Structure 1
Amino acid sequence: MTIAVLRPELDRPRSFTQDTLGWVPWLEPPAEAELTDAQRAGLVQASRAASPYFRLLAEDPTVLEARTRADFDIFHSTRDGLPRGERELAAAVTSRVNGCVFCASVHARFASHHSGREADIQRLLAEGPDALTDDGSDPRWSAITDAAVALTVTPVELRPEHLAALRSSGLDGLAILDVIGATAFFAWANRLMLSLGEPEVIGT
């Protein structure tokens, strides 16, 4: 029987951050050396065996493989559609709304790196999505942020006016699909990660 392990001594982050965080599972994942061939295949990338999160998901390798290939397709197939930085923006907004500190840290770093707008991403983390929409200075980022917030709350909150705003800010159909894909993926992934463990501050 798998036993849940709670760690009161854990050094938990006290705010959203772009720092690199650790993640500690509440259920004991398989040890890396114990992974079966099927579980290793489900990881898709061999390096992911080092992650306790992915080793835990490897308990169902078929689902993990489908999840990972969807992740790669949404965020790395950037020949067409939305630029990588704005896909990561949608993921960071979603993670901020859902309160997933770990995912927000990862995708905020990616968004900062690929967009070159670290200060704006930091404002998102510190103040929430309204920080990117209230001043009206960037209609494109505002439209992406508003759409991501709506879809994160519940799918029916994404309304025609959100799509109209995305189109009017220059996004074509493929780019809009990327906003929806990045947001929907993390609206699900945040909830999965939040239910299986918690973030940890790691030494620098």
Structure 2
Amino acid sequence: MAEKIPFTMENLVWRSWSNPMVLEECTAEQIDVLEKSDPVAKTHEYYLTLVRDPAALLARSQLFNAIMYTREGARRADKEFAATAESLLNGCVFCASVHSRLYATFGKDRPTMEAFMKDGLGADLSPRLRAIAEFATALAATPPVAGPAHVAALEAEGMSREEILDIANAVAMFAWANRLMLTLGEPEYAAA
């Protein structure tokens, strides 16, 4: 088992605890699913582990792409902030690292994310980001405790029902994806 890595915005790699597929041994169907999944899927141990069940990986990738790459709904930065909050709650260091960097890119606000990664909900957040983080963590809790007050807080920040649903979809999807990552492998620091 690798060293315990704290939450970080550093680039990490994820290592599978099982034997991921070797690309050269994948079937044509598996290669096709990897190509439809993500540009890094053919070299990422997570995808090479999940492609053992190509139908499930295809469904996962289609869901991910439909939620995260749509032009409608919530802004990408808001979805990445929500996914970071959910990943912090669930303890997925790898996912928090990825989503925090994506938020910093799309939101053009690295200092806020650095504070959030350090202090969680105790960080000094704008009312909009606080509403997103509180909704995301309430929705990701087991059992979920998100309710009308969370929705009202998002609406008070100008979010439409469609944007709120989009945030909920992202949080729910990543809660599931985090559980896959947390039970199938662990992060390591990227080689320098």
TM-score interval (norm. to shorter) = over 0.9
If the length of structure 2 is used for normalisation, what is the TM-score? 0.93
- Using the TM superposition, give the Cα deviation of residue 13 of structure 1 relative to its aligned residue in structure 2, in angstroms: 5.3
Give structure 1 stretches of 5+ with no counterpart: 1-7
- Corresponding residue for residue 199 of structure 1: 187
Residues 1:46 and 1:35: Cα distance change in structure 2 (over 3 Å):
farther
- Tell me how far apart the structure 2 counterparts of residues 146 and 202 of structure 1 sit (CA, whole Å): 31
Q: Does 1:63 align with 2:56?
A: yes
Alignment of 1:55-204 (within 5 A): 55-77=48-70, 79-132=71-124, 138-154=126-142, 156-204=144-192
Count of paired positions: 190
Kindly report the root-mean-square deviation, in angstroms, between the aligned alpha carbons of the 2 structures. Answer: 1.5
Residues 1:60 and 1:174: Cα distance change in structure 2 (over 3 Å):
same
- Tell me how far apart the structure 1 counterparts of residues 137 and 158 of structure 2 sit (CA, whole Å): 19
Q: Which runs of 4+ in 1 moved over 2 A?
A: none
Q: Which amino acid aligns with 1:40?
A: I
- Tell me how far apart the structure 2 counterparts of residues 42 and 36 of structure 1 sit (CA, whole Å): 10
Does the residue aligned with 2:87 lie in a helix, a strand or coil?
helix
- Tell me how far apart the structure 2 counterparts of residues 100 and 128 of structure 1 sit (CA, whole Å): 14
Question: Contact 1:75–1:84 at 8 Å: present in 2 too?
Answer: yes
Question: Contact 1:132–1:145 at 8 Å: present in 2 too?
Answer: no
Does the residue aligned with 2:123 lie in a helix, a strand or coil?
helix
- Tell me how far apart the structure 2 counterparts of residues 98 and 46 of structure 1 sit (CA, whole Å): 26
- Using the TM superposition, give the Cα deviation of residue 128 of structure 1 relative to its aligned residue in structure 2, in angstroms: 1.6
- Tell me how far apart the structure 2 counterparts of residues 80 and 128 of structure 1 sit (CA, whole Å): 28
Question: Contact 1:13–1:201 at 8 Å: present in 2 too?
Answer: no
Structure showing greater radius of gyration is 1
Residues 1:28 and 1:82: Cα distance change in structure 2 (over 3 Å):
same
Deviations 1:156-202 (A, max 9, x none): 41111111111111000111011101110111111110000000012
- Tell me how far apart the structure 2 counterparts of residues 32 and 197 of structure 1 sit (CA, whole Å): 19
Question: Contact 1:41–1:65 at 8 Å: present in 2 too?
Answer: no
- Tell me how far apart the structure 1 counterparts of residues 56 and 16 of structure 2 sit (CA, whole Å): 19
Question: Contact 2:134–2:150 at 8 Å: present in 1 too?
Answer: yes
Does the residue aligned with 2:158 lie in a helix, a strand or coil?
coil
- Corresponding residue for residue 19 of structure 2: 28
Q: Which amino acid aligns with 1:128?
A: G
If the length of structure 1 is used for normalisation, what is the TM-score? 0.88
Question: Contact 1:140–1:166 at 8 Å: present in 2 too?
Answer: yes
Deviations 1:13-52 (A, max 9, x none): 5311111111111101111111111112222146411111
Question: Contact 2:15–2:185 at 8 Å: present in 1 too?
Answer: yes
What percentage of aligned pairs have identical amino acids? 38
- Using the TM superposition, give the Cα deviation of residue 125 of structure 1 relative to its aligned residue in structure 2, in angstroms: 1.1
